[in-house]
Amino acid sequence: MLTDSPTLKDTNDKSLVDGKKITLSRNISDAYVRARSFFTDNSFIVKVYLLSRIFILLVAYVNTILQHSNLASELSNWDGVWYIRLASRGYLHHPVHFQTTLGFFPFYSMVMWALARVLAGNLLISGLTINFIGGFVSSVLLFKLMQNWTNDTAARRAVVVYNLFPGTVIFSMVYSEGITIPLVMGCILLVQKRRYIAAGILAFFATATAPDALALTPVLFVAFLYELKRYEKSLRKASQAFIGTLLSLGGIASFGIFLWIWTGTPLASYDAQRYGWKETTTPLALYYQGKILAHEVSFSHFRFSSINLNYVVALLGALYLVVFLYHIIRPKLYISIPALVWTLGISFFALTSAKTPPNPRLLLTAFPLLIVAAYKFSTRAYRIYLSVAVLLLVYMSSVTFVGIALRP
């Protein structure tokens, strides 16, 4: 008999659709609640980070007026030019001995390219968005690490010190540290929690982003030795730490394999850096930089405009690194062993690099150095430190944004 009432199938279909709508609505509502809770719980970090980014952009804007420069070119200065070019053009098919995109690791530009598909193809906005998010994520992770190492007061101080340090200009520029530093912090946090495979995955992507992230490999290897010694009867955690160590090499290994297939040699990136940027590693790097600087400030031909500020910053940065590293270790170590191993690794790279000395960007990457001021300084010394940091942030950012007088 015909009837106007819905069939059983129609009723079921309608119930199914309504159920999916209700589930989707609940998921969106739950996500909103979690996001709101996250930002509420981290409101202090949000405020500090946003104020620091507004401050940096204000410095950049004033720079455009005083230096008659362009804001877009300022925010993509130095390596930003190469990362954007890599995201838009890729790598050459053959190794060369001059400056080219081959000198840069791929993962940051890959993420830029993917995000640009959503942002109407604008690679500059894509790179800046990644770094803006990365800077905030690193601030949150730093707070969590400091809570584990010290206390809430020191953690809040550390967030302020971190965001006002001159090197944080890179979170408002197109630089790979916007991905590298959060990955490193996340890896160290996971190692501390003994989640070694997850830590190794983060290290994989970090070593596909920047060569100095290789300092994560000894972090995971030390964890492997620790687990091997502590748990002689059960090797499960030691096995996981060993797998994590291998994964940490996966990023740079994958890049090398790609270059081998793409250019014919796995050393194409190394050659581009060595010949194009004259980058070498030597224990006498600081000596040579000091020697060049001494020649530039010779009174026989002294001209302030001829002094390369990168050498000045290199020597001051080396002094900062040594002094603050000493205070991390003495009178007692108050950071975790993984964080210490990471700091020592980055310190080694910085002190032996001919072209990438302990400048603000490298010191920021060795982030445990920065927390000395947050944890060990008195209130008065802490305030003086912040005042000096702000002045250096303004001056060094201004010089960094325009021209090539001072690299980040």
Predicted confidence at residue 311, as pLDDT, reads 87
Kindly report the average pLDDT of the chain as a whole number. Answer: 88
- pLDDT range class, residue 17, cuts 50, 70, 90: low
Query: What's the whole-number mean pLDDT along residues 198-217?
Result: 97
The tens digit of pLDDT for each residue in 242-287 reads 999 999 999 999 999 999 999 999 999 999 999 988 888 888 888 8
Task: Give 311 or 107, the one with higher predicted confidence.
Answer: 107
Task: Give 36 or 323, the one with higher predicted confidence.
Answer: 323
**What's the CA gap between 145 and 162, in Å, rounded?**
13
**What's the CA gap between 244 and 199, in Å, rounded?**
6
Predicted confidence at residue 332, as pLDDT, reads 79
The tens digit of pLDDT for each residue in 288-318 reads 888 888 877 765 555 555 677 888 899 999 9
Predicted confidence at residue 105, as pLDDT, reads 96
**What's the CA gap between 12 and 347, in Å, rounded?**
65
Query: What's the whole-number mean pLDDT along residues 353-358?
Result: 86
Query: What's the whole-number mean pLDDT along residues 106-134?
Result: 94
Predicted confidence at residue 8, as pLDDT, reads 45
Percent of the chain with pLDDT over 70: 88
- Among the listed ranges 16-30, 133-147, 370-384, which one has the minimum average pLDDT value? 16-30
- Among the listed ranges 82-86, 126-130, 206-210, 297-301, which one has the minimum average pLDDT value? 297-301
- pLDDT range class, residue 219, cuts 50, 70, 90: very high
The tens digit of pLDDT for each residue in 369-394 reads 998 999 989 999 999 999 999 999 99
Buried b (16+ CB within 10 A) or exposed e, 212-222: bbbbbbbbbbb
Buried b (16+ CB within 10 A) or exposed e, 88-120: eeebeeebeeeebbbbbbbbbbebbbebbeeee
Predicted confidence at residue 360, as pLDDT, reads 93
**What's the CA gap between 18 and 311, in Å, rounded?**
67
Cis before residue 166, ω within 30 degrees of 0? no
pLDDT surpasses 80 at 9: no
Predicted confidence at residue 307, as pLDDT, reads 74
Name the residue among 188, 156, 149 with its Cα closest to residue 334: 149
The conformation of residue 170, written as its DSSP 8-state character, comes to G
pTM for this prediction: 0.89
Predicted confidence at residue 197, as pLDDT, reads 96
